[in-house]
Amino acid sequence: MVPLLPPPWYNEGPQWSTSLPGEKKKAVDIDSVAGYAENVCELIGRTPMVKLNRSLPDDVVAGKVLVKLEMQNPGGSVKDRIALSMIEEAEKAGKITPGKTTLVEATSGNTGIGLAMVAAAKGYKLIVVMPQVPTMYERYVTCKKFGAEVHLTGIVKDDVKASIHKLIGYANDLCAKNPDYWSPNQFSNDDNPLAHMEHTGPEIWDQTGGEVDCFVAGCGTGGTINGVGTFLKTKKSDCNIVVVEPTESRNMLGEEPKLHGLTGLSGITGPLIEKLAPGQPWNGEKRGPIDEFAHCATPDGLAMANKLAKMEGLLVGPTSGATVKVAIDIAKRPEMKGKTIVALAASSGIRYTRHPMWAPECAEANAALPNPPDLSSVEPLVRWKSEDYVPPETK
């Protein structure tokens, strides 16, 4: 396996050994322990990859199913990568200046958090525009914690496309009315897939030693599948590139987008995928580096996210559950025998505690932790055991 390049803040230096009595001494580079990054932006990327074990069914024939853990980015998601790329490329082009420019972005949340983190490190003001729905709770409070302002737009009942257009339109109007405002516009900015072409893709190639036969990622803005897919195809033309959208919203097959519970899988035919084959009908045919347009239903994605937590120790969000579900399904195909499949986990499950996937745990925690707490006496010592909890019957 080809090792990853060390981070930019890593320097070779004197070594010392650490071992228990009787063990073979292990050389440890002291600078790799004591070194530091100049700022949080240097910590973005170089995320780990892990092999699935206990969650794989018996009929899997693939040699390995690996998961790229993008929640290990400092801001907690794959969107840290594009936030840094879009901001730094705009700085190079002279479009924005810290302390002068206010950044404005429409987002379902993770890009907003990534931008808020980078903006805080670089000294930019930021306005994050999100839809006013309960599942934005964690995103709202996290963006505020980083110092960003948050504007919430209304949604159009039963009309996903209109809701998205209102969200993006509001952000664009803000920029049009204020000369010192600038929007990265993640849905059409080429510096979005650039981050994945220059970093995420090469990392996956190096981490697998070039032995990647299939790559699976959620649709989102299209930046990840565009950038990683394009890079991997240049290294291995027969690598199968698969993009995942919600079963309930097969927009990339030409259907109208509909409501679903896989937060982050926008299901819109965005410019970053459109430009891979301009003018080509949206009918599920191969498009640029994308070989397959797969899908996952919301209940299946949530079930897989829960399974990964309980059987692999991987706390991932609903989108990642859907992506891994598709990767495992592909791993059962006869042509995948002995092959290596890589699925991208975009964000951590802890970011979705207001999502229905957490409803049973939240209901139990609310019962277990009354507010105010019971201070009536010091006895009994143990007031609650989770194994004794009986959920209320649902109507």
Residue 340 has pLDDT above 90, yes or no: yes
Has residue 19 got a pLDDT over 50? no
> Is residue 314 within 8 Å of residue 308, measured between CB atoms?
yes
On average, the pLDDT of the chain sits at 87
Q: What is the pLDDT of residues 101-111, one digit of tens each?
A: 999 999 878 99
What local confidence, expressed as pLDDT, does residue 373 receive?
Answer: 87
CA distance 131 to 121: 26
Q: Taking 80 as the threshold, does the pLDDT of residue 12 lie above it?
A: no
> Domain 79-182 falls in which CATH fold?
Rossmann fold (3.40.50)
52-56, 157-161, 270-274, 282-286, range with the lowest pLDDT: 157-161
Quickly state the pLDDT bin for 250 (edges 50, 70, 90). confident
Checking if the pLDDT of 249 tops 90, the result is no
Of all helices (H) and strands (E), which one includes residue 49?
strand 49-51
pTM above 0.85, yes or no: yes
For residues 118 and 115, give the distance between their C-alpha atoms in angstroms, rounded to a whole number.
Answer: 5
Q: Which of 64, 79, 233, 325 is the catalytic position? A: 79
* Res. 5: pLDDT tops 50: no
Tell me: the pLDDT tens digits for 53-86? 999 999 999 999 999 999 999 999 999 999 999 9
pLDDT band per the 50, 70, 90 thresholds, residue 264: low
What type of residue sits at position 187? F
> What residues does each domain of the chain span?
30-75+190-352, 79-182
How large is the angle between the packed helices 110-122 and 79-92, nearest 10 degrees?
50
Q: What is the mean pLDDT of residues 12-22?
A: 38
Those residues with Cβ within 8 angstroms of residue 307's Cβ, 6 or more apart along the chain or in another chain: 55, 321
Please answer whether residues 59 and 332 qualify as being in contact, where contact means their C-beta atoms are separated by less than 8 angstroms.
yes
- Per-residue pLDDT of 81-136, as tens digits, reads 999 999 999 999 999 999 999 999 998 789 999 999 999 999 999 999 998 888 78
Q: Alpha helices of the chain — where are they, by DSSP H? A: 30-34, 79-92, 110-122, 137-145, 160-177, 191-195, 201-207, 223-235, 271-274, 298-312, 318-330, 359-368
Q: For 186-220, write each residue's pLDDT tens digit.
A: 989 999 999 999 999 999 999 999 999 999 999 88
Going by DSSP bridges, is the β-strand pair 64-69/340-345 parallel, antiparallel, or unpaired? parallel
Q: Mean pLDDT throughout 271-300?
A: 91
Would you say the CATH fold of 79-182 matches that of 30-75+190-352?
yes
Indicate if 79 belongs to the active site.
yes
* Model confidence band, residue 9 (pLDDT cutoffs 50, 70, 90): very low
* pLDDT range class, residue 265, cuts 50, 70, 90: low
Band of residue 13 on the pLDDT scale cut at 50, 70, 90: very low
Task: Report the percent of the chain where pLDDT is more than 90.
Answer: 64
Q: What is the CATH number of domain 30-75+190-352?
A: 3.40.50.1100
